[in-house]
Homo-oligomer: A and B are copies of this chain.
Amino acid sequence: MVSSNLKINHERLLADFEQLSKIGLTANNGICRLALSREDLEARSWFADRIEEAGFLVHDDDAGNLSGILPCDNPKAKTLLIGSHLDTVLNAGRYDGAVGVLAAFESLRTINEAGIKLPVHLEVIDFTDDEGAWQPMFGSLSLTGRLPKNYLRDANGEMSSFRAALIRAGINPEHVHRARRAAADLAGYIEVHIEQGWRLERSRVDIGVVTGIVGRSSYQYAFHGQAGHSGTSSMWERRDALQGAAIFITRAHELVREHYPEGVINCGNVEVKPGTRTIIPSEVIVTIECRHVDEAMLSEMEQALIGLAHECAQAYRLTVTSDRFGHIATAMMSDSVIGAIEKACNQLGATHTRLASYASHNAQVMSTFTESGMLFIPSVNGISHNPAEFSRWEDVVRGTNVLMHAILNMALRQ
């Protein structure tokens, strides 16, 4: 067992964080490093330089996943992956993803400098397009061989633009499947991330040990009514698609709050047709996303929302159709990785609690492939996907130390 006195170099970590935070900085102090954008490529190039500087091997697979490898003496050893992502959503903060990659990198540097010999290769990985500028989890889906064949066609944005963005990043769209690895070559996957909620902060706990990641289903509800003249149609006898959609939005949130306290929904978009002030809306499309930590409850909640939509439609003499256009199953984290993280917390005197992740992460994809786990550090006010996203630096440092010792615990267990 490695002494719990071994600590990462927090000044070096901070210097890295500050440099990375300048890449994609926007006028409102936010970060924009959409996957495969110029800013994302700049961040990757910066990171490749850091990997070389540290004396690790730079590895760049056919899906653009960028790694730094600290090899062990046995070339046939398995690889323990530790990662996150450098890409961001639009108008993002500095911590989401970036902390995970830099913490993993700093852990490897510290282990390397301490001269610790491990029975596994250690590999820090920046997964391509975690956030889904084009295809959420593009990198981890490719690495695990689960990227759909027609991924280009179903991507967000134009197919030709996605293709161009891949090629610009040096990725051949036809060769992405070559990024697939063999599960037998892996010793596990571990990731540190900001919580993006306020559970840890409010309960004053240092580390969240993730037990599972919520399943997600995405729907489009289309409410159909009848167009009409906005002035001459009676206020009592309209078949106004927007009135049905509006009451549905209100009542859907009430339903989830009252009956599914562990469920989460978001109505993220509304499209009104024809969308002009002088015509009563004939069609309204509501985009809604559902999450639940329990797969069966997620399904029950989805059915309850469909029932509610029909009830709201009937009240305004409308019809409604629902189309589930995306589903990611609930993922359970590995007991052995949970154990390695909790042991590291105890070694370092960090308080910890088990919790579910309401956000998707690459660990969700990796968990179908290899023993995987995650740890969360507190987010101030739970703000995320927003320039105001913030975590205290001492929490970032503590989380990185826990990560490093969790890596050691996992590696030495082999």
Contact = CB atoms under 8 A, between A and B. Distances in A.
A260 B36 CA distance: 55
Contacts of A386: 226-228
Nearest to A262: B235
- Most B-side CB within 10 Å, residue of A198, A228, A266: A266
A10 interface: no
A41 interface: no
A268 B281 contact: yes
B218 A277 contact: yes
A183 interface: no
Contacts of A242: 249, 267, 270
B272 A278 contact: no
A275 B274 CA distance: 18
B250 A235 contact: no
A3 interface: no
Contact of A250 (B250, B265, B288): B250
A57 interface: no
Interface stretch (A119-127, A377-385, A398-406): A377-385
Contact of A198 (B234, B235, B281): B234
Contacts of A263: 235
Contact of A264 (B89, B230, B250, B276): B230
- Most B-side CB within 10 Å, residue of A235, A277, A383, A385: A277
B274 A228 contact: no
A268 B257 contact: no
A277 B272 CA distance: 16
B235 A264 contact: yes
Contacts of A167: none
Given A197-B232, A382-B234, A274 B90 contact: yes
A324 to B, nearest CB: 12
A214 B231 contact: yes
Contact of A385 (B218, B228, B236, B266): B228
A277 B270 CA distance: 10
B264 A268 contact: no
A291 interface: yes
A229 to B, nearest CB: 4
A384 B238 CA distance: 12
B274 A272 contact: no
Contact of A256 (B89, B132, B235, B246): B235
A375 interface: no
28 contacts: A132-B278, A195-B232, A197-B232, A197-B234, A216-B231, A218-B277, A228-B386, A229-B359, A229-B385, A230-B289, A231-B264, A231-B359, A232-B357, A233-B264, A234-B382, A235-B263, A235-B264, A240-B253, A245-B246, A246-B247, A246-B249, A246-B250, A266-B279, A268-B272, A268-B275, A268-B279, A269-B277, A278-B289
Interface of A: 89-91, 132, 195-198, 214, 216, 218, 226-236, 240, 242-243, 245-247, 249-250, 253, 256-257, 263-270, 272, 274-281, 284, 287-289, 291, 357-360, 382-386
